[in-house]
Structure 1
């Protein structure tokens, strides 16, 4: 029987080294208590934040010091919980850490409204007269930029305190889908029992036996139907919270509020959706090519993940994947490559799936810790690409933490997804240049095409979906599971026109955790677009382009995202990078068509 192991059955070398953060839970408890006691120290500055430059510097440094410790406490608790989401002890630690973060944010909530009472000229004078305050210049500019949407100190404190509650639907969804839901066990063509999980569903959808894929697909989505009302209610309330918080801050829409934080104009979002729609014929071509490769009359939803190859993905062990990724990033220079190699041998990665483990993959860690990567490695090419992706995030964080003060260490997702996807592009070029086995090469090309499809087109479709759902709430229209099915199903039918769209796939919105972070997913699509341009430059120009890219990683959030990318060589205000990425996708389809 193919089953998911318990965590105790996983060897230590394949588990991340959380003991490097806190050696024991008792040490975590001491850190928690210590920083909790410091939170009240901020109150001594209320009402006098900008009485002079020295006071402003003191309060900003105190706030940063406290939030650094809070982030360590919160990261450890969250990662321990994600090792096994059924563990109520770590659920409790995570809840306490989230409350502490909320308390700290609330205690510091008076700082920015008081800064906004000053003019830019007055703040510039303080910066000029106070040694050390110059590091906060960009931060102060950002605070003044948000003045129109910052409420009074009292309201900001209330919003900060309510944040734990208003964003709680994502936690409910996470517990329901990772800890409580149990998916069926099905019999594979060899007669072995296979337990479906969130982590292996996509892998099972790549099995050669079509009847098996159909059974997995139907069983998986039928299980989602059993929690339809719970998930529908969670998402509805998440959208309501987004809209109400935006209105509380004086924004007309939730999208305006979400994009204003990273200072992204709405036309960047619209350019992405419009350009993808104008090029749907390329996605439709991919679907038709897949139907031809599979030799079927109709492309069904359980065929979408199938590779356009004559066999299942060749096995790529974790050890092999590490070697491939380290070799692939050589184009970024010796320093970058050595960091990747060292991280992979220093227990950055929690490698394999275990019962109760958080599904998917992510990069974590804090300003003061080593990077950490959660994986659910499945010994295939897709997992190798996911490893490269998450290492991109980890190296971005490491470079930023080493070169920027804490205030600029939390870079925006808009640029984060560039760093991860550059690694994917370099991995593809490396494998196609060095691997001679024709079937392996075909799988690599297929994987890259699938990542274009799923990252650029699919995430853009997701972005269109969540924007439409937020508009329902903003127009006082009811958000029900049936309405969500309708909106999602219509988009799926449009984007995958050559395929047969059935009723079950209309429920796919239920399994997308990123919807609980408003207007997040579009950044995957803009990220791959920028990454394609940067990777092409690195491979064509060599060292100068690689150095500009490393500098981009080192800048963190010291500038606004569009400025950072422009300095690296990409203008995301223009549709050109999106079109350029789609053109590369089309060119790779030509290559695959020739092979087929």
Structure 2
């Protein structure tokens, strides 16, 4: 019987090193108190933001200093909690940090309404008087752009203070799914009990034994049935919070409010959904291929993750994955490649799954720290791709932090998912072009096809689900668990037409944590579309295209996402960009059929 180890059983070399933030919880406590006290420095400027150029400059510099402190405190606390979500002390740190974050947002909430008392001419005059303000030009422009949706300082302060409340549904769901839920073990093909976790569920669904996959599938989703009312209530309130916040800011819909933050037109969202819908035949073709490697004529929901190759997936150790990924990014330039390799040797990554650890993977860190990557590495090809993905995020953060002041070092999710998927795409090209092991090559090709299926199609299906649930709520229709099941089952049937859609898969929406971050997932699909275009440019034009891409990463948020992408050579308003990625998917389906 395999088992998930405790954190203390893992070698320190495979754990992230939080010392670049704080050496201990005691050091964190000191920083927490300093950050909390510094909020008074920020509050001292309330009512004075538009006073004169010198005051505005001082305010923005103070704002940066305070928010950097708060970000460091918050990042450390979240990562300590994510090491073991069962740890009450770590949960307490995270709760206190979240409260501080809400308090900081409240303390800074006067800035935007007060700056919006100014117009463009006022800002230009201030910049002449105080040239240091020119560094904040895009930041201020973005604030002025949001003037129609910004309330009074009093209301903005209230909305900021409600941040903990409006985000409570996601926190409740996170604790339920990661700390409280336990799934029964299922006997594997050898008769040994196999534990099921959130992290290994999809891995178990790839097992070649079809009966075992079915047992895992049914056991897993039966457990979600037992918490359907809790999860349904949590999600309904999350949607309702999105709706109320959008209305408070005078948006017509939650989706419009969400997309207006990064200045993405809703047409980009619609173009994605419509273009993917027009190409469902390719996904259906992928499903038909999966049917050929199952033990039956019918394709079941527990067959959707099964590889198109029948032999056992090769084991890919973490060390091998690091080597493959490092070699794969060579087209991005020697400096990029060496910095990535250095990061892997500097404990950026918390590698293996341990009991109570936050599920999934993410890239974190702050402007003042090294990047951090949470993994639950499973010694397989998929984990290697996840590592490449998160390293794309981390390198983006590293390059932007080095090139930009704090105010522009962050970037929107719309942009972030491009950097991560570029690395995945480069990894695929590298492995298919250099690896001689035919077994690994087949699995890499299968993996890339699965990335298209799970990223371009599956995330677009999620985007449709989010859009329709929010529209239902905004129309006054109740979001009951039964109605959510019906909607999800309908979408699953459309996207996976060759498969038999059963009642259990209707509960899949319950296990998707991204739904608690509204209108987030569509950016994975636009990201892979842009990434395919960028990689093709780099492969066709070499260093000049790679330089444009690096400049794009280094820009951080000093520009609106669609403008930055246009500078890098990609137009996301054009359906042809999404279509070209879908065409590549079709070409790889052709290649797989030739290979086998």
TM-score range, shorter chain: over 0.9
1:283·1:496 contact (CA, 8 Å) conserved in 2? yes
CA positional deviation for 1:296: 2.8
Counterpart position of 1:27: 27
Once the two structures are TM-superposed, the CA of residue 128 in structure 1 deviates from its matched residue by 2.1
Question: Aligned with 2:488: secondary structure?
Answer: helix
Secondary structure of the structure 2 residue equivalent to 1:309: coil
User: In structure 1, what is the Cα distance between the partners aligned to 2:312 and 2:238?
Assistant: 39
State the match for 2:149 in structure 1: 149
Distance 1:24 1:43 in 2: 29
Alignment of 1:454-493 (within 5 A): 454-493=454-493
Question: Partner residue of 2:385?
Answer: 385
Aligned residue number for residue 102 of structure 1: 102
Distance 1:416 1:39 in 2: 29
Q: Deviations over 1:287-318 (max 9, x none)?
A: 00111233530111111001100212100000
Secondary structure of 2:44's aligned partner:
helix
1:215 matched to which residue of 2?
Answer: 215
Map of 2:427 onto structure 1: 427
Deviation of 1:57 (Å)? 0.8
SS of equivalent to 1:293: coil
For the 8 Å contact 1:331–1:546, the answer to whether it is kept is yes
- Equivalent pair of 2:381/2:444 in contact (CA under 8 Å): yes
Aligned partner of 1:520 in structure 2 is: 520
* Distance (whole Å) between structure 2 residues aligned to residue 593 and residue 158 of structure 1: 58
Matches for 1:330-369 after TM superposition, within 5 Å: 330-369=330-369
Give the equivalent residue in structure 1 for 2:162: 162
For the residue of structure 1 that corresponds to 2:213, the secondary structure is helix
What CA distance in whole angstroms lies between the structure 1 residues aligned with 2:490 and 2:263?
A: 31
Distance 2:521 2:21 in 1: 30
State the distance in 2 between where 1:545 and 1:230 align. 50
Matching of residues 265-344 of structure 1 within 5 Å: 265-294=265-294, 296-344=296-344
Query: Does the Cα contact within 8 Å between 1:294 and 1:308 map onto a contact in 2?
Result: no
CA distance in 1 between partners of 2:256 and 2:111 (Å): 24
Q: What is the correspondence of 1:28-67 to structure 2 with a 5 Å cutoff?
A: 28-67=28-67
* Equivalent residue number for residue 175 of structure 1: 175
Checking the alignment, whether the CA contact within 8 Å between 2:210 and 2:294 is kept in structure 1 is no
- Cα distance per residue 1:178-208 (max 9 Å; x no partner): 0000011111112222110000001001111
Aligned counterpart, 1:69: 69
> Which segments of 5 or more consecutive residues in structure 1 lack a partner in the other structure?
none
Alpha-carbon distance in 2 for matches of 1:157, 1:408 = 24
Deviations along 1:79-123, whole A, 9 cap, x unmatched?
Answer: 000000011111111010011011111011111101000111111
Q: 1:139-190, CA deviations, whole angstroms, 9 ceiling, x for partnerless residues?
A: 1100000000000000000000001110111110000000000011111112
Report the Cα distance in structure 1 between the residues aligned to 2:570 and 2:221, rounded to whole angstroms.
40
- Residue of structure 1 equivalent to 2:372: 372
Provide the secondary structure at the position in 1 that maps to 2:351.
Answer: strand
Once residues 310 and 491 of structure 2 are traced to their aligned partners in structure 1, the CA distance between those partners, rounded to angstroms, is 30
Structure-1 separation of matches of 2:255 and 2:44: 36
Point out the more displaced range, 467-476 or 37-46.
37-46
Partner of 2:242: 242
Aligned-residue offset at 1:43 = 2.1
Which runs of at least 4 in structure 1 moved beyond 3 Å after TM superposition? none
Does structure 2 retain, via aligned residues, the 8 Å contact 1:42–1:108? yes
- Partner SS, residue 5 of structure 1: coil
CA distance in 2: counterparts of 1:294 and 1:221, whole angstroms: 21
Q: Which runs of 5+ in 2 are unaligned?
A: none
Alignment correspondent of 2:588: 588
Q: What SS does structure 1 have at the residue aligned with 2:374?
A: strand
Distance 1:156 1:493 in 2: 43
How do residues 495-506 of structure 1 correspond to structure 2 at under 5 angstroms?
Answer: 495-506=495-506
TM-score normalised by the chain length of structure 2: 0.99
2:562: which partner in 1? 562
1:397–1:409: 8 Å Cα contact kept in structure 2? yes
Is the contact between residue 291 and residue 298 of structure 1 (CA under 8 Å) also seen in structure 2?
yes
Residue 415 (str. 1) matches residue 415 (str. 2): yes
Deviation at 1:19, TM superposition (A): 2.3
Is the partner of 1:259 in helix, strand or coil? helix
Q: What SS is found at the alignment partner of 1:184?
A: strand
Task: State the distance in 2 between where 1:25 and 1:513 align.
Answer: 28
- Aligned with 2:206: secondary structure? coil
Aligned to 2:253: 253
The RMSD of aligned alpha carbons is 0.7
Which digits, 9 at most, give the CA deviation of each residue in 1:506-552, with x for residues without a partner?
00000000000010000000000000000111111110111100000
SS of residue matched to 2:358: coil
Give the Å deviation of 1:593.
1.2
Take 1:351 and 1:371, find their aligned partners in 2: how far apart are those partners?
Answer: 14
1:469-498: per-residue Cα shift (whole Å, max 9, x none)?
Answer: 000110000000000000100000000000
Aligned residues: 596
Does 1:440 pair with 2:440? yes
Contact 2:314–2:380, Cα closer than 8 Å, also in 1: yes
Question: Does 2:426 correspond to 1:453?
Answer: no
> Which residue of the partner structure matches residue 118 of structure 1?
118
TM-score by length of 1: 0.99
Q: Is the 8 A contact 2:393 2:420 kept in 1?
A: yes
For 2:572, the equivalent position in structure 1 comes to 572
CA distance in 2, matches of 1:191, 1:506: 29
Distance 2:154 2:223 in 1: 45
1: distance between equivalents of 2:579 and 2:47? Answer: 51
1:206–1:312: 8 Å Cα contact kept in structure 2?
Answer: no
Structure 1 distance, partners of 2:164, 2:557, is 25
What per-residue deviation string (whole Å, max 9, x for no partner) do you get for residues 229-254 of structure 1?
Answer: 00000000000000000000000100
Q: Is the 8 A contact 2:283 2:495 kept in 1?
A: yes
Q: What displacement does 1:46 show?
A: 1.3
Identify which range, 295-304 or 211-220, moves more after superposition: 295-304
| Distance in 2 separating the partners of 1:294 and 1:485 | 27
Match of 1:534 in 2: 534
Give, in angstroms, the shift of residue 436 of structure 1: 1.1
